[in-house]
Amino acid sequence: MFVLGISALNATDNGGLRPILLILLIVAVILILVGCSIALLTLRKQRKDHLAFSTLEHSDREKN
């Protein structure tokens, strides 16, 4: 990633800069999508764990 940034700064002509900027844009979009999917999976797991805990707590109350 660092090398791509340096290459983008060193490319002076417009023809050499466009592919590098496109690659950087694609990498940025992929990183955003990966971050969103990790956040959604974490939220799903948290809700699932909370539901299991509350169900377990409810069943303990019924036994007493």
Section 47-60 average pLDDT = 73
Residue 27 clears pLDDT 70, i.e. is over it:
yes
7 Cβ contact partners less than 8 Å away, ≥ 6 residues apart: 20
What is the pTM for the complete model shown? 0.59
Domain boundaries, the chain: 2-63
Q: Measured between alpha carbons, how far is 9 from 41 in angstroms, rounded to an integer?
A: 37
Nearest alpha-carbon partner for 5 in 38, 28, 37: 28
Total count of residues recorded for the chain: 64
45 vs 52: which has the higher pLDDT: 45
35 vs 57: which has the higher pLDDT: 35
At position 4, the amino acid (one-letter code) is L
Q: Measured between alpha carbons, how far is 57 from 32 in angstroms, rounded to an integer?
A: 37
Residue 9 clears pLDDT 70, i.e. is over it:
no
Split at pLDDT 50, 70, 90, the class of 23 is very high
